[in-house]
Amino acid sequence: SQQGEEDPQALSIQEGENATMNCSYKTSINNLQWYRQNSGRGLVHLILIRSNEREKHSGRLRVTLDTSKKSSSLLITASRAADTASYFCATDAAGIGGSEKLVFGKGMKLTVNP
Amino acid sequence: DTAVSQTPKYLVTQMGNDKSIKCEQNLGHDTMYWYKQDSKKFLKIMFSYNNKELIINETVPNRFSPKSPDKAHLNLHINSLELGDSAVYFCASSPAWRGYEQYFGPGTRLTVT
């Protein structure tokens, strides 16, 4: 069954603006991961945040995790046209009563206009 | 060097045919996966192998059969192709089967006519 759900489904911003994407999930997790997929390409791993972590940074990316609300957010600061892609959250609930697989959300389309 | 590679990139075939997709990873990872991404971009796992052993076998038709000759390779064979099999198939690998990020191949776009 679907675990993560991204919100909004689509976002269009201007270059230089920040983009925030949210992910909600249903069961307890070991970790939550964010991936990017450019059109016609494979998924690229961005950040993995474990259930005992609250925030993680990687370059212009900032991910937060609130396990009490079962939600995560991905912030891309100072967006660039090259950030245009689909973004997926994925939850790993292996070994704690959840599925033994990584479950992906439906994805969110980000368009950064130059 | 490509970390996870798949061949072919595009596959167009007729209903009823049998086809194979090959995947190789040069990352030294223990675990490999096959995913199917439909036209709405929904990504669903099909199979996972850890050290050549099948550990995840989702509810897929038994026309789909994975084979892992060694840790670096995971192939997918599909018998009696149907229209509904049209999708993009991704291979992925990870260092171990729990708690790690996954590295995806470029995908194989399968079109069944």
Separation in Å, CA of B15 to nearest CA in chain A: 24
Is the CB of A42 less than 8 angstroms away from the CB of B105? yes
Residue B40 burial class via C-beta count within 10 angstroms: exposed 0-12, middle 13-18, buried 19 and up = exposed
From residue B77, give the alpha-carbon distance in Å to each of B17, B81, B110.
Answer: 11, 10, 12
Among chain A residues, CA nearest to B5? A42
| A86 chain-B contacts, CB cut-off 8 A | 41
Q: Is the pLDDT of residue A1 over 50?
A: no
Token pair, residue A101, equals 């697989």
| B106 chain-A contacts, CB cut-off 8 A | 41-42
pLDDT of residue B59: 78
- Among A33, A86, A101, the residue with its CB nearest the CB of B101 is A33
The domain of B107 spans 4-112
Is the CB of B99 less than 8 angstroms away from the CB of A100? no
The count of domains in chain B is 1
CATH number at residue B67: 2.60.40.10
CATH topology of domain A5-113: Immunoglobulin-like (2.60.40)
- Of the given ranges (A70-74, A103-107, B6-10), which has the lowest mean pLDDT? A103-107
Which B-chain residues 10-49 have CB contacts (< 8 A) with chain A?
Answer: 40-45, 48
Which A-chain residues 38-97 have CB contacts (< 8 A) with chain B?
Answer: 40-45, 48, 86, 88, 92, 94-95
pLDDT of residue A99: 59
Residue B19 burial class via C-beta count within 10 angstroms: exposed 0-12, middle 13-18, buried 19 and up = middle
Which strands form A71-76's sheet, in the order they lie side by side? A5-7, A19-24, A71-76, A61-66, A55-58
pLDDT of residue A96: 60
pLDDT of residue B55: 86
Token pair, residue A62, equals 């900032």
A105: Cβ–Cβ under 8 A, 6 or more apart, which residues?
A2, A3, A4, A5, A6, A23, A88, A89, A90
Residue of A76, A45, A80, A78 whose CA lies nearest to A61: A76
- Among B58, B102, B107, the residue with its CB nearest the CB of A45 is B102
- pLDDT tens digit at each of 113 positions of chain B: 679 999 999 999 999 999 999 999 999 999 999 999 999 899 999 999 998 888 888 878 999 999 999 999 999 999 999 999 999 999 999 998 878 899 999 999 999 99
- Of the given ranges (A20-24, A94-98, B46-50), which has the lowest mean pLDDT? A94-98
A6: confidence class by pLDDT, cuts 50, 70, 90 = confident
Q: Where along chain A do its domains lie?
A: 5-113
| A37 chain-B contacts, CB cut-off 8 A | 41
Rounded CA-CA distance B66/B57 in Å is 10
Q: C-alpha angle with apex B63: B58 to B68, nearest 5 degrees? A: 65
